[in-house]
Amino acid sequence: MQRVGVIGGGLMGAGIAEVSARAGHDVIVTEAGSASARAALGRLEKSLARAEAKGKLASAAVVLDRIRVTTDLDAVADRDVVIEAIVEDETAKAELFKRLDTVVTSPDAILASNTSSIPIMKLGVVTSRPQQVIGIHFFNPVPVLQLVELVPSLLTSPETTERARAWVEGPVGDGGLGKRTIDCQDRAGFVVNALLIPFILSAIRMYESGFASAEDIDRGLVLGAAHPQGPLSLADLIGLDTTKAIAESLYEEFKEPLYAPPPLLQRMVDAGLLGRKTRRGFYTYE
């Protein structure tokens, strides 16, 4: 699969586009408007320049030359794999998959979602080819973290799953991305977020109740449990809106109280305090 399409050029979409281009693939990124397309391109340029400066990349310009950013969804018609990385909203994703079903002309193309929590079945059934729809869930930051969750639905064909695995795990330079996969059942949250989000929500509830400060909660997990980052700092990195969306998806599926977003998280999202992306969440970022 040499021709890659990425729908959405935010943090995750740009990261997927970057690792695909660094692996030698021809990449097209589509965005909803010209402003967001410019922002996506700037995100890619900054990340690649940083990698080159650190000696992790021979030439940022060569990699960037493999990527085209456009506002034309029809540009992904000839792609071998198209990965959706838009907002974590089931209605928006389902509508996009309906459109991709008509836009992508290759009969063997894989239509994938980078969703963190939405069941893949709900996206596959709106297309005429649910056997070719699969979850390929990368982790942020995509160029750094090795894990990818593969999430087939009940209708995803074994061939699609194995083609996706071969692409993700294949050696860089030999058609693959050089990452590692785990297999997940098609349940909200999959493996990592089904474990991680309740943990983060518990930390938010602890902070909300006044039990401890944000700094002490995070310091406790870093120094006492050898976590590389505390749960509230991690929530800021993920994005509080994304954290809330995943929690809501988990609660909708399992109806377990531990998955329900705490009131403080709801209010922070309402206020636009989304973490690092808005420079303010549980911490303030310069």
Residue 171 buriedness (CB in 10 A; 0-12 / 13-18 / 19+): exposed
CA distance readout (Å), 172 to 109, 150, 153: 21, 19, 27
- Cis peptide before 198, with omega less than 30 degrees from 0? no
First to last CA, the chain: 40
The CA R_g of the chain, rounded to the nearest whole Å, is 19
Helix (H) or strand (E) holding 199: helix 192-208
SS3 labels along 227-248: CCCCHHHHHHHHCHHHHHHHHH
Strand-pairing partners, residue 4, are: 27, 81
Q: Active-site residue among 31, 149, 233, 249?
A: 149
Q: Active-site residue among 114, 116, 117, 233?
A: 116
Reply yes or no on whether 140 is catalytic.
no
Reply yes or no on whether 193 is catalytic.
yes
Reply yes or no on whether 25 is catalytic.
no
b/e per residue, 123-160, with b = 16+ CB within 10 A? bbebbebbebbbbbbbbbebbeeeebbbbbbebbeeeb
Q: Active-site residue among 84, 88, 137, 153?
A: 137
Q: Active-site residue among 20, 193, 233, 249?
A: 193
Q: How far apart are CA 6 and CA 165, in angstroms?
A: 18
Contact predicate 127/119, CB 8 Å: no
Reply yes or no on whether 137 is catalytic.
yes
Catalytic residues: 116, 137, 149, 193
